[in-house]
Structure 1
Amino acid sequence: MLIGEYSHSLDPKGRVFMPAKFREELGEKFIVSRGIGKCLFVFEQNVWMEFAQKLKTIPITDQKAQVFLRMLFASACECEPDKQGRILLPARLRDYAGFTKEVVAIGVMSRVELWAAESWKEYNEQSSEDYEATLEKLAELGI
């Protein structure tokens, strides 16, 4: 399971260090794509394939879902860490996520999310109330 939060600098070539704990679970090559909320999603290849299989069931007539699928799959790329554990992120993905200097990698069970440090900080501040309310609901359900 992918858990934890790590901060690293984006180098001038657009590479970011992927923490060793994440690389161990993601494998030698993994898929990076646009995420939700100005982050990037990073999936182990088998998890990506399972996700893609589920998405195949979306009707082609669902216009909003088709927009999502186009954005997700057009932005996706396969990444392989170099010997220092860095991955090269394409400019289109760096631009989408607003990466300039610091990148935060967080584990979210079956995926890693990459955030611009400032965006992650803002997200945390804005989501604090939702987190607490959801935690209360889960407690009521016995989870």
Structure 2
Amino acid sequence: MFMGEYQHNIDSKGRLIIPAKFREHLGNAFVLTRGLDQCLFGYPMNEWKLLENKLKTLPLTKKDARAFTRFFFSGATECELDKQGRINIPSSLIQYAQLEKECVILGVSNRIEIWSKALWEDFFEQSEHSFAEIAENMIGFDI
């Protein structure tokens, strides 16, 4: 399980240090793709395979299913950790997530998320004010 919040800088070559606590669960290679809310999602290979299998079951006749599958898979790339624990993020994903210098890497259960620090702070600030309402809406999910 991934949890916690870490801050690292992305360099001019698109390299970003992955926190040591996350590296052991991600393995030497993992999948990075466009996530929701303008961040990047990173999945260990076993979690990616589970997700891939679920997405394969979506009906091709549904426009939203096709769009989501395209969005998710077209941005996917396999990342390998170098000896310093860094990954090289493709420019298309850097642009999508608006990664400039300061980044936030989050542990979110079965995945990591990589955010621009500015976008994360905006998201957190907006969500923080409605956290009680969000929690109330989660009651139906037995949380």
**Match of 2:115?**
115
Query: Cα distance, 1:135 vs. partner?
Result: 2.7
TM-score normalized by the length of structure 1: 0.94
Secondary structure in 2 aligned to 1:121?
A: helix
**Match of 2:35?**
35
TM-score normalized by the length of structure 2: 0.94
Query: Cα distance, 1:76 vs. partner?
Result: 0.3
**Match of 1:102?**
102
Change (3 A) 1:18 1:131: same
Structure 1: distance between partners of 2:46 and 2:10: 27
Structure 2: distance between partners of 1:11 and 1:50: 32
Structure 1: distance between partners of 2:71 and 2:56: 15
Q: One-letter code of the match for 1:85?
A: G
- Between 1:29-38 and 1:126-135, the stretch displaced more is 126-135
CA RMSD of aligned residues (A): 1.6
Q: One-letter code of the match for 1:2?
A: F
Query: Cα distance, 1:44 vs. partner?
Result: 0.2
Structure 1: distance between partners of 2:47 and 2:81: 18
Change (3 A) 1:138 1:69: closer
Query: Cα distance, 1:128 vs. partner?
Result: 1.4
Structure 2: distance between partners of 1:54 and 1:41: 16
Secondary structure in 2 aligned to 1:37?
A: helix
- Between 1:37-46 and 1:60-69, the stretch displaced more is 60-69
Q: One-letter code of the match for 2:88?
A: L
Q: What are the ranges of 5 or more consecutive residues in structure 2 without an aligned counterpart?
A: none
Structure 1: distance between partners of 2:24 and 2:78: 16
Within-5 A mapping of 1:1-143: 1-137=1-137, 143=143
Secondary structure in 2 aligned to 1:41?
A: strand
Normalized per residue, the structure richer in strand is 2
Query: Cα distance, 1:141 vs. partner?
Result: 7.8
Q: What are the ranges of 5 or more consecutive residues in structure 1 without an aligned counterpart?
A: none
Structure 2: distance between partners of 1:35 and 1:139: 25
The size of the alignment, in residue pairs, is 143
Secondary structure in 2 aligned to 1:42?
A: strand
- Between 1:126-135 and 1:24-33, the stretch displaced more is 126-135
Secondary structure in 2 aligned to 1:5?
A: strand
